Amino acid sequence: MSSQKLFSVAVVGVTGAVGQQMLRLLEERDFPISQLKLLASASSAGKTVKFKGKDITIEEAKPESFKGVEIALFSAGGDVSKKLIPAAVEYGAVCIDNTSAYRMDPEVPLVVPEVNIDKVHEHKGIIANPNCSTIQMVQALKPLYDRFGISRIIVSTYQAVSGAGAKAIAELKRQSAEILAGNEVVPDILPVGSLPVKHQIAFNAIPQIDKFLDNGFTNEEMKMINETKKIMGDDSIQVTATCVRIPVVYGHSESVYVELKEKFDMDEVRKLLAEGPGLVLVDDPANQRYPLATEAAGKLETFVGRVRRDLYNEQALNMWIVSDNLLKGAAWNAVQIAEYIALEQK
């Protein structure tokens, strides 16, 4: 990306689990940056962060912070996005928002580059990054959707605590150590920081991510249901989701049952998955090879395996989809979108 236009870039929420990965990726990918603003809450303002060997001082994120900013990556929570993105757009920035604040806004494109990068062109200042658990699923299913169509998806997730932020990672480690030492644990973050009831995550499985709605589904489950339809651009896809937090640090795993609209050949399915953009097919039962969260952690790709035809519905498949929720599920998807915008304006 040398000899191209350079951009004034802001990262909002740079001290968070996703913000740190955004910064790391901008550095590693040598993103064409003229000026880099690192923004966070007042409590982090004044701290310095290294970027390409230089110390950059974190500033408090305010509406006027975005003067002159061309690309802003937001990952500081929905409230911050709602408060600051309108000002950033007013100043002319393209905002790539990792929160759920604008995802279902019909004016805002919801983009997974491997699935619907063309939607970027429709933005009016805001491009939304989908929910982590949605991104890896639609990315893996897109090649099958394009070839056969999809009528039904039933997904159960095995989600890492890093999706709930750095405090949840610390909580899992602390609880695990306490239990191994034979002590009682007092949960204080998960399943949802802002709700009163807390549950032990170490050596447990919590079937709640985000708040409950009146229909008995959680927000996280409804995100998978609604975002999948918006990203695929197909309201006819019937998604059912059960989202579960498990004691894993990095990497969401998903057990996915999918009904296709046409008959399929398993060899073709495997070829489509193996060649799908950003996908790695890890599917060799004889050698006990399948995607694992511990192996996906730190990688940019989404891993697919355990691909098998359903025994009762010959137009249905079962598979296991794993990706690093902080990378393809958040920071990398956002930086991919930023890279696309940068390339377009070269």
Q: Which of 1, 186, 195, 343 binds its own copies (CB under 8 A)?
A: 195
Is 95 a known active-site residue?
Answer: no
Per CB under 8 A, contacts with its own copies among 116-155 are 152, 154
Structural tokens at position 120: 């970027």
Q: Is 101 in the site for its own copies (CB under 8 A)?
A: no
Interface size with its own copies, residues (CB under 8 A): 61
Q: Is 302 in the site for its own copies (CB under 8 A)?
A: no
Per CB under 8 A, which region of 16-24, 115-123, 140-148, 284-292 contacts its own copies? 284-292
Q: Which of 29, 63, 166, 176 binds its own copies (CB under 8 A)?
A: 176
Which of 95, 123, 132, 243 does the annotation list as catalytic? 132
Query: Which x/- pattern, by CB under 8 A, does the window 311-330 give for its own copies?
Result: xxx--x-x-x----------
* CA distance linking residue 242 with residue 251, whole number of Å: 17
Q: Is 199 in the site for its own copies (CB under 8 A)?
A: yes
Which of 95, 123, 243, 252 does the annotation list as catalytic? 252
16 annotated ligand binder: yes
Q: Is 186 in the site for its own copies (CB under 8 A)?
A: no
Structural tokens at position 1: 């990306």
Query: Which x/- pattern, by CB under 8 A, does the window 244-283 give for its own copies?
Result: x-xxxx---x-x-x--------------------------
245 annotated ligand binder: yes
Q: Which residues lie closer than 8 Å to 172 by C-beta, 6 or more apart?
A: 161, 201, 202, 247, 249
Q: Which residues lie closer than 8 Å to 201 by C-beta, 6 or more apart?
A: 161, 168, 171, 172, 175, 187, 190, 191, 245, 246, 247
Tally of CB atoms within 10 A around 196: 5
* CA distance linking residue 65 with residue 68, whole number of Å: 9
Q: Is 83 in the site for its own copies (CB under 8 A)?
A: no
* CA distance linking residue 95 with residue 84, whole number of Å: 10
238 annotated ligand binder: no
Nearest distance, CB of residue 221 and its own copies, angstroms? 9
Is 132 a known active-site residue?
Answer: yes
β-bridge mates for residue 321, sequence order: 254, 304
* CA distance linking residue 247 with residue 169, whole number of Å: 9
What is the bridge-based pairing of β-strands 150-158 and 238-242? parallel
Structural tokens at position 302: 């989404």
78 vs 207, which CB is nearer to its own copies? 207
103 annotated ligand binder: yes
Nearest distance, CB of residue 252 and its own copies, angstroms? 9
Per CB under 8 A, which region of 22-30, 87-95, 111-119, 200-208 contacts its own copies? 200-208
Where would I find the H helices in the chain? 17-28, 78-90, 113-116, 132-148, 166-180, 219-232, 266-275, 293-296, 332-344
Residue 232's nearest CA partner among 304, 138, 151, 148 is: 138
* CA distance linking residue 246 with residue 208, whole number of Å: 10
Residue 104's nearest CA partner among 223, 6, 208 is: 223
Binding site residue list: 15-18, 43-44, 103, 159, 162-163, 245, 325
For the annotated catalytic residues, the residue numbers are 132, 252
Where along the sequence are the contacts to its own copies (CB under 8 A)? 152, 154, 156, 158, 172-173, 176-177, 180, 191-192, 195-197, 199-200, 203-208, 212, 215-217, 225, 238-240, 242, 244, 246-249, 253, 255, 257, 285-294, 305-313, 316, 318, 320
Binding site residue list for phosphate: 103
Binding site residue list for NADP(+): 15-18, 43-44, 162-163, 325
